[in-house]
Amino acid sequence: MAKKEVAVVPRKKAPVERGSNPSLTAKVAGLNELMDKKGIRIIDLKFVDLLGTWQHFSITRHEFDDSLFIHGIGFDGSSIRGFQTIDESDMLIFPDIESAVVDPICAVPTLSLVCDVGDPISGERYSRDPRYIAQKAEAYLKTTGIADTSYFGPEQEFFIFDSVRFDQGQNFGFYHIDSDAGIWNSGRENNGTPNLGFRPRNKEGYFPVPPTDQLQDIRSTIINKMGDAGIRVEIHHAEVATAGQCEIDMRFTTLTKMADQALMYRYIVRNVAKQFGKTATFMPKPLFGDNGSGMHVHSSLWKNGNPLFFDKDGYALISQTLKWYIGGLLKHAPAILAIAAPTTNSYRRLVPGYEAPVNLAYSKRNRSAVCRIPMYSDKPAAKRVEFRAPDPLSNPYLTFSAILMAGLDGIQNKIDPGDPLDVNIYELSAEEAAKVKRVPGSLTESLAALEEDHDFLLKGDVFTQDVLTAWVDLKKKEIDAVRLRPHPYEFFMYYDP
């Protein structure tokens, strides 16, 4: 990625910043009381790598005191994806005391703390810590004067399968997924056990009651665990695809807090599925011929407690501020997708015909547009935009931050999103459809867009050049890993033509 000059904002040293909280001792005492009450002897320290996966290690109760929050605790940053080289491997994590919850998964009573990453030499926060990027995005929003609060609400979709097998070698490559809820099992012989039917057909998995919805109790168990972790859940249901596609929606909250919750959500889903003897995946497109899993991201801006996206006289009740925000999303969408649809598999989902938001347009109610204005409520507080292109393998800290930065750029530069597209885009004539721009068709195209268009991310030192360079380098390696291997279907097409 080409280097560009960036105005770097000085940052406070982490130990000074951490030790300046006069209420820390009282909060630690409160946690000690909680741990006594719950019988907790293990403290689990979680932090996120650049690609969006939680990492962790645990300490005993004896090691827990004020100094943990002031001086941090060390780990090997060279073993974490996208972090340090081996010659600069020593790093620190600092627990965020406000994130403390009793871990909803561990059988041994455990306190869970989300952590920030710092450099032990400079004492500064670490530029490649995704949580720091999210915190900087929220701070930058306030400096613009446009708003003081950004709310986010992601709809994370996922599959729960009965089994999955996959492997790759020099002379073979395969995957095999199975689910009793998969329509392909309608004709299965069960070695003398009756085949009881009730499986959703392709694209017919949305909202059927049990027994067709086989995962009701599993999802209910999941949301109860989420509630134990302090996550407010609004709804859960079966999703469109066959074979166990699900969705659980959280109540909106502020950017960094929602990113924390999004990772706790994935942690709980995967572990509860395993407890039921099943396997959960957030892979965007695990099944051929049916809908993939997205992470539709709702966002809104507020100032002094007032919503900024509502106008009773506007199209779909949206304000000019929201129109400009949408203009920024549409302009920068190809670059955003390098972060928000970050895998080669993401672009097997972003194809026409599977409710995939491939069209760079906005509309009320229209799910084929990349930006949708939900029309469920006419209340000012409910007015928001849904950016439908991200998927749940993206790093939520980076994805939410990129969406916010693109929207703010749209407001700052008064970017006109054009006219809304309130038609079924898939039913347009070829001539009309050719006028509608599409999202990138591959990760390669999205990365090229990010390399060309990333100045909006660098504002306020929110994203930094080294973060974007590291990101692009990691993703290009993933592209090569897939590009260099024969695909199983190539044998079907080419082995004996």
As annotated, the active-site residues are: 76, 155, 157, 239, 247, 296, 367, 386, 388
Coil/strand/helix, residue 153: strand
Mapped onto helix, strand or coil, the DSSP state of residue 193 is strand
**Pair 386, 335: CB distance under 8 Å:** no
Beta strands at 173-178 and 359-364: parallel, antiparallel or unpaired: unpaired
Which residues are CB-neighbours of 369 under 8 A, at least 6 positions away? 357, 359, 361, 362, 363, 388, 421, 425
Residue 138, token pair as written in the block: 């929220």
The SS3 call for residue 352 is coil
Q: DSSP states of 208-253 as a string?
A: PPTTTSTTHHHHHHHHHHHHHTTPPEEEEEE-SSTTTEEEEEEPPE
CB neighbour burial string for 417-447, b if at least 16 within 10 angstroms, e if fewer:
beebbeeebeebeeeeeeebebbbeebbebb
Which residue type, as a one-letter code, is found at position 426? Y
**Residue bearing tokens 């930094």:** 464
| One-letter amino acid of 358 | V
Q: At what angle do helices 396-412 and 320-340 cross, to 10 degrees?
A: 140
CA distance 130 to 58: 21
The backbone torsions φ and ψ at residue 441, rounded to the nearest 5 degrees and listed phi first, read: -95, 0
State how far the Cα of 27 lies from the Cα of 33, in Å rounded to an integer.
Answer: 10
Alpha-carbon distance 57 to 79, whole Å?
A: 13
- Selection from 108, 96, 149, 81 nearest residue 342 by Cα: 81
- Non-local (6+) Cβ contacts of 297 within 8 A are 152, 153, 154, 155, 340, 386, 387, 388, 390, 399, 400, 403
Q: Where are the alpha helices (DSSP H) in 105-159?
A: 130-144
